Amino acid sequence: MDNLVLKLKSLYTLVILLFVLCFKLSVSSRSHRHYYGGGRKLRSSSDNGSDLVTNLPGQPQVDFKHYAGYVTVNETNGRELFYWFYEAMTKPEEKPLVLWLNGGPGCSSVGYGATQEIGPFLVDNNNDGQGLKFNNFSWNKEANMLFLESPVGVGFSYSNTTSDYEQLGDDLTANDAYNFLHNWFLKFPSYRTKTFYIAGESYAGKYVPELAELIHDRNKDPSLYIDLKGILLGNPETSDAEDWMGLVDYAWSHAVISDETHKTIKKSCDFNSSDPWKNEDCDQAVDEVLKQYHEIDIYSLYTSVCFASTARSNGQTMQTSTKRSSKSSSKMMPRMMGGYDPCLDDYAKAFYNRPDVQKALHASDGHNLKNWSICNNKIFNDWADSKPSVIPIYKKLISAGLRIWVYSGDTDGRVPVLSTRYSLSTLALPVTKPWRPWYHENEVSGWYEEYQGLTFATFRGAGHAVPCFKPSNSLAFFTSFLHGESPPSTK
């Protein structure tokens, strides 16, 4: 009997020990979910409630939720990226997640993409940036939209380590964006398994494929898997040599430069060289191109420039002092729904530097203000590394079966339709559906061609930031992309 009692006591003790051990492992497991890579501490999913935006000044009344705030991408250095996330207007649980990136490098996806192009709240040009208006053609009608200010130094994003700002380039930007996504999924765990797409324009023509490649490569680890299905790129910088040739040929074919200047460039410029400007004739001829573009809006050839006192000081016009400036600039010239307004960047700056706006977006406490600018020219001028071409990444993503759509507004002189055609032609892809018009509301919206693994389309009469000029057409095109359907080719 005594032996039986002892055995029962021992069994009871063992059960208690196992219970305590399991509990500790459970707590440890939950704790470790807050970390990703290199000991970088991530914020838990409970934080998303504190990021809910509830009192944004001037916001139109809507039925969907939106969130804004910071995500840590490097705890050691204190690197924090700012995001703004809008749930889909209807049935967000059934719709994909899309990350939108603007370029520059150094320009804000919040200032451009979210509140000038495709977000639900646009800066009101009738109120000098002191209010918002509802966008009837917002892309969150079709998807959950996530806008990221990247890299640190752009918009509200920052680092507590000064040396971080000296290392900014393509690779750091891609890795921080990748870390951001995994961290963000901890805030919003229900989105981790959603169908995912990346979209962007201009210098994001490099950001987007580079991030997509990183996701593709690391998806081999099931614990890091992101369900990336495709990428969408507008007027994208793709391959430096072809981009330059396209810029020059477009300027000549659209009567911006003379025959003589064009002939000099064709004769003296080797854009495949690591330093084409060492040829003095080439250098001077390209300066002439930039000089002529300085007179108009390179991002929208046939619309007005802004004559406001601050317009030309915030980097809106082509800088002529350096070829580096021309090569990588992505400052867009937008329009509003009721007509074109080339001064909208100034209104965005006024809006995002309001104390009550920064407090509502959880970017500051409303007293210690951040100095928000739509583009950071220091980042732009000091960019450390830029891949000369992302065509090899295109090939890799095409082989992986990702959906790749590229579109061009055909009145953009900065990354013109010719640049994109020249770049894509180096892929030598077989044509599966030949060149034809696509339609929106019974009118030709542009032309498109389908290749094996890629779709290319134009937007007739649109500048660099296509959704600013063709909001309804852009939404229809975006919907076709998400559904994997060709743009409408009949009236």
So which residues are the catalytic ones? Answer: 202, 412, 464
Helices 204-218, 170-187: axis angle to 10 degrees equals: 60
> How far is CA 378 from each of CA 154, 165, 205, 314, 375, rounded to the nearest angstrom?
10, 9, 20, 12, 9
- Among left, alpha and beta (phi > 0; psi -120 to 50; other), residue 41 is beta
Nearest alpha carbon to residue 328 among 233, 217, 203: 203
d(CA 348, CA 113) in angstroms, rounded, equals: 12
Enumerate the β-bridge partners of residue 436: 448
SS3 469: helix
SS3 371: coil
> 214 is written with which tokens?
């990183």
> 3 is written with which tokens?
């032996």
Beta strands in 274-359 (DSSP E): 335-336, 339-340
Which residues, including other chains, have CB under 8 Å from residue 258's CB and lie 6 or more apart? none
> How far is CA 491 from each of CA 38, 437, 439, rounded to the nearest angstrom?
54, 10, 6
> How far is CA 480 from each of CA 167, 439, 464, 468, 475, rounded to the nearest angstrom?
38, 12, 21, 19, 9
The b/e string for 181-199 (b: 16+ C-beta within 10 A; e otherwise) is bbbbbbbbeebbebebbbb
Nearest alpha carbon to residue 203 among 382, 386, 376: 386
User: 464, 414 in Cβ contact below 8 A?
Assistant: yes
**DSSP category for residue 131:** -
CA end-to-end span of the chain: 92
d(CA 452, CA 370) in angstroms, rounded, equals: 47
Q: Strands 339-340, 97-101: parallel, antiparallel or unpaired by DSSP?
A: unpaired
Q: Strands 144-149, 97-101: parallel, antiparallel or unpaired by DSSP?
A: parallel
